């Protein structure tokens, strides 16, 4: 694996991003237009994300299922807003073998329709509720542009779909799952997020409202990183999901859905990585430590024995560790561990060893830490991994805060966006016209409404009328 050159982040952020993806072998373009391949290093990160999130979903009472990947057109059309939202970007299957299908089917762009149809067939009584299901799968949206992890026709995600007896319960679920996402971003990805409600024009097709998790990238561009939707009874009425209620009557269920996707890998890169490659937070890194013995194996028995011992000590304490026994030069080995984003490398070399030492190197800061070769290595490494995790979050939070700007006029807004984009806080009257005016500024959109924050001026930044909300705005991927 050659350590390809990585473009300077400040010179060309987009190229830097692509270079990191390639150099760390996370993903590659396929010969299937608009579709990417998750290579082993990229897929391993996705597996870690799945593992952590799946545990959180199960702990909150959710169960996994698998729905078909195809949706017959009629089933898709039952709820009008959804099909209107997705029709322009679905892939249609029209032939099975050499026969034209009687009814064409689309590859799922999202599965509200299938879950609703299924729920309608299994729910009879309020005693059957709630049903809280999730599936891990890939979905297909016929996008024109492709950018690895951020936008591609096929992407990998989870979609939770739940039905409830009451609106209160469903709204609580919508909010709870947003909380799960927020916690996951903070505790595992070391990414601080804004959470809140989308405006009417930005909500999911068919939802009563959409809650969102918004992250800020290193360059000040925003990434919508997860959403949780409250549907009320829109789908349950369209798909006839009824149940015998507690009052001997018949009611429609209240419904939610929520999802995060492989796009989170893009967020990891654009929040934490640098010009030497990937930087992974320890709690999501597939490999946390790489031990690198320095010198030729046949001439360095003591070094290799110690490297093996360190490996075994770490492995036995459930630290994810590798050992690099290749014959490449030390410099090459160090660079490779760096480009892959491995949080800690341990260098075992002759000079150190003469002083009874080994060297731990942090990926995030490049700081070198010498410790005794006889130390309790698992405990040293665990401490260091915790420190790295915390420091990475703190740095991302500081940067996010530094790149959050309050503006009080359209001129200030425009100036800020043209010098340094970021999270822009500004008052808004709630009209779509004013929203559209702001969109003219580099495609800037409302990220989310900040219901608990005090208005800045009390006047809409565009029209000057009374403001209804403080909103955080930004350019988006």
Give the interface with its own copies as residue ranges (CB under 8 A): 28, 30-33, 35-40, 43-44, 46-47, 63-72, 75, 87-98, 104-105, 107, 114, 117-118, 121-122, 133, 137-138, 140, 142, 154, 156
Distance in Å, CB of 65 to its own copies, minimum:
5
Q: What is the DSSP letter of 429?
A: -
Distance in Å, CB of 288 to its own copies, minimum:
16
d(CA 384, CA 300): 28
Distance in Å, CB of 37 to its own copies, minimum:
6
Distance in Å, CB of 95 to its own copies, minimum:
4
Q: Which is nearer to its own copies, 297 or 453 (CB)?
A: 297
Q: Which is nearer to its own copies, 82 or 140 (CB)?
A: 140
Q: Which is nearer to its own copies, 315 or 414 (CB)?
A: 315
Q: Which is nearer to its own copies, 137 or 436 (CB)?
A: 137
Contact 369, 359 (CB under 8 A): yes
Q: Which is nearer to its own copies, 14 or 122 (CB)?
A: 122
d(CA 27, CA 104): 32
**Residue 88 tokens, joined:** 């322009």
Q: Which is nearer to its own copies, 3 or 387 (CB)?
A: 3
d(CA 85, CA 365): 44
d(CA 290, CA 343): 9
Distance in Å, CB of 357 to its own copies, minimum:
33
Distance in Å, CB of 428 to its own copies, minimum:
32
Nearest to 474 by CA among 406, 421, 419: 421
**Residue 162 tokens, joined:** 């739940």
Distance in Å, CB of 186 to its own copies, minimum:
27
* Strand 344-348 versus strand 368-372 pairing type: unpaired
In the chain, how long is the greatest CA-to-CA distance? 83
Nearest to 254 by CA among 264, 243, 262, 265: 243
d(CA 432, CA 201): 7
Q: Which is nearer to its own copies, 85 or 464 (CB)?
A: 85
N-to-C CA span, the chain = 30
């Amino acid at each position: 694996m050659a350590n390809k050159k990585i473009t300077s982040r400040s010179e060309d952020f987009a190229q830097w991003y692509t270079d990191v993806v390639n150099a760390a072998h996370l993903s590659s373009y396929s010969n299937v237009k608009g579709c990417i391949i998750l290579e082993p290093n990229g897929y391993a990160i996705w597996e870690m994300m799945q593992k952590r999130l799946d545990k959180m979903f199960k702990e909150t009472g959710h169960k996994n299922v698998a729905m078909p990947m195809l949706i017959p057109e009629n089933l898709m059309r039952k709820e009008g807003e959804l099909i209107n939202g997705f029709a322009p970007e679905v892939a249609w299957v029209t032939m099975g073998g050499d026969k034209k299908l009687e009814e064409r089917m689309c590859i799922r762009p999202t599965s509200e329709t299938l879950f609703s149809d299924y729920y309608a067939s299994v729910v009879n009584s309020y005693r059957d509720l709630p049903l809280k299901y999730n599936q891990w799968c890939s979905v297909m949206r016929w996008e024109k542009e492709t950018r690895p992890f951020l936008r591609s026709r096929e992407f990998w995600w989870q979609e939770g779909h739940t039905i409830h007896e009451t609106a209160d319960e469903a709204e609580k679920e919508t909010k709870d799952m947003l909380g799960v996402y927020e916690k996951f971003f903070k505790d595992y990805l070391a990414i601080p997020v804004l959470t809140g409600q989308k405006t009417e024009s930005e909500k999911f097709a068919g939802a009563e409202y959409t809650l969102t998790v918004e992250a800020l990238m290193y360059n000040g561009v925003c990434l919508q990183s997860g959403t949780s939707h409250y549907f009320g009874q829109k789908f349950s009425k369209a798909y006839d999901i009824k149940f015998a209620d507690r009052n001997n009557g018949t009611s429609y269920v209240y419904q939610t859905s929520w999802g995060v996707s492989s796009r989170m890998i893009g967020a990891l890169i654009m929040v934490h990585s640098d010009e030497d490659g990937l930087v992974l937070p320890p709690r999501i890194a597939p490999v946390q430590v790489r031990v690198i013995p320095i010198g030729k194996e046949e001439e360095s028995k003591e070094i290799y024995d110690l490297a093996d011992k360190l490996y075994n000590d770490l492995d036995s304490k459930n630290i994810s560790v590798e050992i690099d026994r290749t014959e490449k030069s030390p410099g090459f080995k160090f660079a490779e561990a760096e480009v892959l984003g491995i949080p800690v490398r341990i260098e075992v070399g002759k000079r150190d060893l003469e002083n009874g030492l080994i060297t731990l190197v942090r990926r995030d800061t490049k700081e070198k830490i010498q410790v005794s070769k006889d130390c309790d290595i698992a405990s040293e490494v665990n401490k260091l991994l915790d420190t790295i995790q915390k420091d990475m979050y703190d740095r991302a939070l500081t940067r996010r805060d530094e790149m959050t700007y309050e503006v009080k006029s359209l001129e200030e807004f425009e100036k800020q966006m043209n010098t340094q984009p970021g999270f822009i806080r500004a008052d808004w009257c709630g009209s779509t016209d004013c929203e559209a005016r702001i969109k003219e500024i580099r495609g800037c959109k409302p990220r989310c409404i900040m219901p608990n924050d005090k208005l800045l001026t009390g006047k809409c930044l565009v029209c000057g009328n009374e403001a209804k909300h403080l909103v955080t705005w930004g350019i988006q991927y």
